[in-house]
Each structure stands twice: as structure tokens, then as C-alpha cells.
Structure 1
């Protein structure tokens, strides 16, 4: 990826902050849960953004804007695309370090209640790329949300925008994108220079997708549920790499590269985590994108999914023997998010974007209620250097210290965050859902004002909690890193840190 050199240099500058090891695979893990599989009937999408354990992210609200005819979107990699006359307001999660304007808005809502997560990087196989090479000035993954989200009213419109870009401009890097509204979810694979395919996601399945193309058999003639490039099949057929099953193209077997071990780890671990009864073997020949289950998957389960290191299995990434295992809950998470598309909400509200800054394993998921109009100052701090005024850096510091020794430092940090998340979820169900719906019924402005207020209150609480825990953890770390036998305290290295937020009785 073209951002590799830029980001690697940035990470090198702040490497002294890192207190945890770097894994072999730096990438993302996506997830989708259809409404019939969801515990509360609300479909969900999500992703971990995995690149570096010290790379600043922010949460920014951007108002609607107007443009003149001929105005163009331009990124730092040569991609351009016409701007619409008017864009819609958004709230997104961009990089805090935007060297040369490389924004990389990872996810967000717009004022029409449309949400998306982009992108999970993926690579096509050599034959496919030779037949349809990536383009020099096509769409690059860091621009996907910035180009698409501000201009669409529905999820399907988002697919059409990406299809137009692929047809006219092409692609610089393979990727997987998910776009959703209250009516439907679309899963889209951007495969090669100009080839792509999207499906309307089924309501009765769930999916885990790491950095590899996952689509199986696809009927490109089913235009109600499929959007595909015109040459998707013919290109593969003419160049001798088309794989068909039951008369349909098998996209994964046609376009995907061989399954890497880091992707296998996450597919095996993630699919089985969300439904332990699956018991899919690690050495399975392949893993299907669309998974059926009798289980009901909750929003809290997805939060824990993004934290899992396969604890209690033979691939437990916390064990020294599994140092090369790629967990979903990797220490290189910049942030993680889970999005609830709530069908009982007014369309303009859409649902809830839950954001955990830094590594979700020891960070708290904070709710953003639809397209809010502002965020607290600590969520807006730019730059690539640690500062306690930043929500990202403060929460990442807690994670870094917690993961030096998960039992000694991190166990009760995780317990506290778990209690907070459960408390917030309970309050939303019992109180806030009704308040938000009523406020939006009064007027969109009234509803958005309340949504912004509630979101900012939760942001402030999470930042304040992390600030206190960082202070206590630093004190604790400096204490136990010394000689444990000094002054008659031989148990100093066996007594775990317990946040004061849990109360003295804990």
C-alpha cells in the first residue's frame, strides 16, 4: 500500500511509546451480522482498524457543504472525482495525522442515516492482476469514505458511486467495503483495476472477513441483489482463470489470492467465536463468507469479538508458543468500531456507531448516536505525538500498560470497561432510545442536538475514566517495576492493579 512508507516513518518517530510487540500482520478484520441473527433484531457491521499501536485517530463532525460546477475531489495519490452540488453532513473517524492530506476516514454516519465501514485491504491473485492491473490514478482506500459517504442517500447509491468510479477511474488497491442503511446492507469487493462485485447482504447470516476476498458463487444476472462489473466473468474466462460452480462464477476461487496464515487464523477464530457450535477446523479447505447459525449475536458479543485473542483455545495468542498467531484483538489496533443499524430509529438518526480508541481489548466502546454535529475536544486532537490531551493517546496508554502483563495490569481495566459498556447498553434500551426517538419526532434539529449532547457526555466520561486509569497505572507500573522485596513488600509483583473506579470494596 502506498501509505506504508509514510506511516512507517511516522510510527518510527513515536516507537518509544510502544510497550507491546509488533505482530507480523498489520491489517483489518471486518464483521457483519444480519438482522435475523442479531440478538435484538438490529443488523450490525464493524471493523478493526489495525495498522499501528501508536497511530492517532480522531472523531470529527463535518457539516454539509456546497460546491461549484467543476469542483473536484483530489487525494494525494492522483485520484480525482467530481464533487456534487451539495454534500451531506457526516461524522467520521479520520486519521489524526494527515500527512499531505491523507485523511483516511475509516467509518461514519451521514445525515441520511447511511453508514459505512471502509476498508478491509485485500489482494487479488497474480493472474487476475496481470489481466486487469491496478491503476496509477484510480481510487485508493484512504479516500473511500471521504468520496462516498457525503454524497449518498441510500446504501445502494453508495454501491453505484463506487461502481462508477471503478468503471471510469479504476482502483489503486484492492479492498472490501460495507455500506448500510435501515433497509439493507451491501457488501462489496473491489477486486482488480476495474473489476468489482457487490451483494445485498442476506438477513439470516453472519460473516467474518479478514484481508482476503471471500465471495463464493454469485449470479451476476440477479441485478436485484448483485452489482458487478460488466467484464467480471469474461475477463477471467478470456485469460484462463475463471472458476465456475453450478454455472455461476465463484469469485473467491477466481479472483482471490491463496489464503495466508494470518487470514486463516482470523477466519477460524472469528467464525467459531461468534458461534462456538460451528467447530470449524483450523485446517479447513476454505471458509465461506455467509455463515448460518442458530445463535443470536449481541452487540456486546461483537465488542468481545474485536477483542478476542482466542483465549482458551490451542491458538491462544497470549501464550508464548503462539507468538506468530494473528489474533483479531491485535495490539496494533488504531481503533475498532461496531455499528448498530436500528430500524426503530428515525431514518435521519439511523443507529449507533460504537468506537473504541486504541486497542479495544483494554479500551471502552463509546456510543455515537447517528450523525452528531460535534465531538469533545480530546477526540479532535491532531498530530502524531503522544499528548494526554488526546482521547486516542490517553486510551492507548492504558492499553499499552495493560498489555505488558494482562493479569497483573489489565485484568481489572477490562472488567471496569465491561461494566461500563453493559451499563450504557442497559440505559440505551430502557431510557435513551425513547428519548432520542421523541426528540427526532419534535424536529431533526432537536433530535440531533440531543444525540450530540449524549454522545459528547459519553465521550467525556470515557476520556476522564481513561485519564484516571492512565495516572494510576503509571504509578503502579513504576512501583512494581522496581525491586519487589524492598521495604517488606514481597507480594508487590503478584497483587494486580485495580482501578479506583471499581470502588474500594472491589
Structure 2
């Protein structure tokens, strides 16, 4: 009997995924500037190596089995029946423009099923190989966990096709009770939504199957377990299965609030909720004040709460160069009192990030684009990977390096090399990064129309055309980013700033290196040094 294996090339570590680890942003087709649906995903974990996964389409004989390995750890969980036909999958999107993202909320620990075969990561990638649209994906996902058991904790999934976007929230029933309780809500076409490691579905319509689907026992099970005792119509999935705490607000819901606040002026009042000061929850979705573009979504994934009450670039923790980053752990203690770092959307520990764009007016092979990047969203380049490509670029290829094997041909390592230079002198160096980001992403947008017109002239050749194009764009971006790293190393070496114009370093009259600027530190930093040290460094004569 032939067996197909869901290989462990998805797996990058023996460690579990970090808490408060991912972010999904959502835009309905009537809320976007061009009529596309869009979702984002930041796969955040210190143990995740950024690669672009790929499964070829295939047909499978009856009796074929599929081995399942937990996405986070590589642990073998068991095997399931393979589908008769599977679809081409590139990253988190398949050839039918179906895209799926997730964030982990965990929820009640007693509901984890240690005997389940389907973990949340495998659930995503198996479903992408089996479903053509969002509603079909929900059916596949809930059917798989009902038949084989759900191994993971609570999850929020974003499931999108060119016409619809749904949020599915799911949690197991505990060891010995196979399956899961769940609810799925369709996001209105003219709205935006988001989730970030906290369950977000509160009350939901019980008699609107067009816009809400749920397991028959989602409420009765909560009552049985003692999580809820009121009327069915007042039931809140989030309150029953993932009760809110300070971390759920400040580290998780705050990211959702930052997105909502950016595009809906009425959401400013929820800043106290984002900070954990009040507990009245935000809505699952809101109507934006204006329509959002692809570029808006890419920029939002680079957010660090700039310009809000949670902006943390100007206190002592940001250092002399106003870094919007802090190093782990998320919480720390001084004199018996706990304190926290902020947890913005853009974070240093991302493995990969994407903005998935699904366009209903184009053939599937052309319409679906995974704008893909590796490492920190604020320091990456979103590169177009079409959903029909049959090979991945070398710089994103699975197996090109790993978390403990540096590779000079891997985008993940090149981006980490650049980002880890930038973090220490953020004010200066990130401006150089932004210039190259804009240069590359503007090029991709400018090239898009021409390549899509070429692909439309012969749809049978479109996958080959777009495969070659995606690979070339990725390699171009990789080469340019490597040059950026070399440029930054020279310009900022040893704490000075070497003079340059348009990327060319200035030389003296004899062809040698011009004297660099000894820039030192900002004035306010020196003032803080004197405040702390007094006359220790005073020049006496």
C-alpha cells in the first residue's frame, strides 16, 4: 500500500510555539480599494525558520494514507486517509485562491486532547490541499478533527477565498472526547477584522447559516463543563473558552485595536481596553473609514503602535536610538512588582509573514498572490508568489539552511543579518532599510500588470510563466537585500556614519575614504547620562 507522508520539512524546532505568537489582519472585498479580499499572517516564534512551503497537486489511489506530524515539534501523531485529489499549495494559499492563517489563543488547558491526530498546523496545510473555497475549508477542517481528534489548544483561523472571509474559532474537548467545539463567522464584505492570540467571537447569530456556522454542542458543552449557565442567545464563545486576562488584552487585543484604530476613528475610545484598564470587548469587525489597499496592509504589518498611547520609542527602554523593540521575556519583575513589554504586530521573532491577496475577477492561476516575506515584517520585503507556481525560489526553498545552519543563499538568514544590525541603531539605519523596501516593492507593483497580461494570453502556460517570474523577483530581492547588508555594514561600522549620496560613498581628493561623521548619541541621551552619573565624566581642564 502506497503511503504519502506529510513531511517534516514544515518543522523547524523541537520547541513549542511561543505564547502570543501570531497576528492575522482581515479585509473584506468591499473594504479593499480594488475589490480583492486580503488577509495577513505573521508566523512569530523564536523557533521557526522562515521558508516557503510547497505541495504539488496530485491524485491518490484508494487506501493511500497520509502521515501527520505536529507542525510545531515534528512529533508523529498518526495517519489519516489521503484525499483522492489534492491541490497545488504554495505557503498558505492554494491554486484556487484559498488562503488560511491562524493565531493561537490556547484557552482552557483541560480541553487539550493528547490523543488527537490533527494539530492546528497540519489542519491548515492538509485543508489547503483538499478545499476549493472558504466554506468547503470549514467543512474539511471541522470534519478532520471530528474524525481524527484535535491535538492542539484553542485556535483562531482566518479562512479566505476571492469572495468571502471567515473567522473560525476552535478548541478541543479534552482527552477521551474526540473532536472540537467551534464557531465560524463570516466577516461582512465592507468590514475589516483581526485576531491576535485571544478568542474574539463573542455572541453569534444562532439562525443565520449564511453568515454563521457552529458545532451543535458549542453551547451545551460549555454548560456541561460549567463554563456558562445563561441563555443560548447570550452565549459568548470567547468568554466561555478563553476568559480574558491582562495578557489577552495588552499583548493580544492591543494589536487588533491598533489595526482598528488606524482605520476607524470611533475605535480610539477602546485604547483603555487595549491597555487592560477596562474590560468591555471590541467588536469582531468594524467598517473602516476608507478602503484599504495592499500597501496599507503591508504597512500595517510593520506597525509598532507608532503615534498611539502604546508607542514605546521614547522612554529609556528604547535606548539612545529609539528602538521599537525590547528583548524577551515579555514580562519582568522589579522589587516584587511585575512589568511588561509591549507586544506590537511587527516583532523580531517572526519566521515568515505574508499578505494574501485574492482577486475574483481574474483566473485563479493569476488572481491569487501570496506577498511573502521572511523574518521581521518591519525589516522584510513582500515579494509576489503566485498561487499557481510549481516551484519555490532557491532563497525561500525548504532545506536551504535551518535555524542552526546559516546559509548565504537563504532569505531568512540575509534578512536576519540586516535586521540585527538595524536594531542597535534603529533611528539611523532603518531609514536606509525603508528606502530599499520601497524601491523593491514599487518595482513589484510596477511589473505586475505586464506579467499578468502575458499570463492571461495563454492560461495553460500561466503556471510556468508565473513560476519563472516569482522565482526571478525573489532572487532579485534577495540580491538587492544582500547588497543592502554590505552597504549598512560599511556605512555604520564602528559607531560612525560614513558619508554617502545615493548609495555611493564619498571619497577624499586622493581617492581614499572621506572622514566619517562622529555622530555619537542624541542630546536627550547625554542628558540622561549626566542625570545618572553627575560629575563622573566631567572634563576638568
Q: TM-score range by the shorter chain?
A: 0.7 to 0.9
Q: Tell me the equivalent position of 2:391.
A: 374
Partner of residue 102, structure 1:
none
Q: Which has the higher contact order (CA 8 A, sep 6+)?
A: 1
Summarize deviations over 1:226-247 as a string: whole Å, max 9, x none: 2211211111223332276792
CA displacement, residues 90-143 of structure 1 (integer Å, 9 cap, x when unaligned): 212xxxxxxxxxxxxxx2x222332222x2111224xxx54x443432421231
Which of 275, 286, 289 is residue 291 of structure 1 equivalent to? 286
Tell me whether 1:358 sits opposite 2:375 in the alignment. Answer: yes
Residues 1:468 and 2:483 are matched in the alignment: yes
Q: What's the counterpart of residue 434 of structure 1?
A: 453
Structure 2: give runs of 5+ residues left out of the alignment: 1-10, 70-74, 174-179, 274-278, 318-325, 327-340, 499-512, 523-541
**Contact kept? 1:401, 1:410, Cα under 8 Å:** no
1:120 and 2:103 aligned: yes
Question: Bigger CA drift: 388-397 or 68-77?
Answer: 68-77
Does the alignment pair 1:329 with 2:346?
A: yes
Matches within 5 A, 1:254-403: 254-259=240-245, 260=247, 261-276=250-265, 278-284=267-273, 285=279, 286-320=281-315, 323=326, 324-380=341-397, 381-384=400-403, 385-403=405-423
CA distance in 2, matches of 1:454, 1:420: 14
Tell me, in whole angstroms, the C-alpha distance in 2 between the residues paired with 1:5 and 1:460: 26
Write the distance in 1 (CA, Å) between the matches of 2:259 and 2:435.
22
Conservation of the 8 A alpha-carbon contact between 1:181 and 1:350: no
Give the secondary structure class of the aligned counterpart of 2:59: coil
Cα contact 1:27–1:51 (8 A) shared by 2: yes
How many Å separate the matches in 2 of 1:493 and 1:370?
Answer: 48
Q: How does 1:142-157 map to 2 (within 5 A)?
A: 142-157=121-136
Distance 2:80 2:388 in 1: 24
The one of 515, 518, 529 equivalent to 1:491 is 518
1:493 Cα deviation after fit: 4.9
Q: Tell whether the 8 Å contact from 1:357 to 1:392 is kept in structure 2 after alignment.
A: yes
Number of residue pairs matched? 452
Offset at residue 351 of structure 1 (A): 1.7
Question: What RMSD over aligned residues (CA atoms) do the two structures have, in Å?
Answer: 2.9
For the residue of structure 1 that corresponds to 2:352, the secondary structure is: strand
Q: Which whole-Å deviations, capped at 9, do the CAs of 1:320-379 have from their partners, x for residues lacking one?
A: 456511111111111211011111111343421101111111211101122211122121
CA distance in structure 2 between the aligned counterparts of 1:270 and 1:225, rounded to whole angstroms: 23
> 2:56 corresponds to which residue?
63
User: Which residue matches 2:233?
Assistant: 247
| Match runs of 1:449-460 below 5 Å | 449-460=464-475
Determine the C-alpha separation between the residues in 2 that align with 1:468 and 1:26: 34
Which of the two has higher C-alpha Rg? 2
Contact 1:363–1:398 at 8 Å: present in 2 too? no
Mapping 1:86-101, distance limit 5 Å: 86-92=85-91
Aligned match of 2:323? none
Unaligned runs of 5+ in 1: 12-23, 93-106, 496-506
Indicate whether 1:37 and 2:31 are aligned. Answer: yes
Q: Does the 8 Å contact 2:298/2:355 carry over to 1?
A: yes
- TM-score, normalized by length of structure 1? 0.82
Task: Give the 3-state SS of the residue equivalent to 1:218 in structure 2.
Answer: coil
What residue in structure 2 maps to residue 104 of structure 1?
Answer: none
Cα separation, 2, equivalents of 1:112 and 1:133:
32
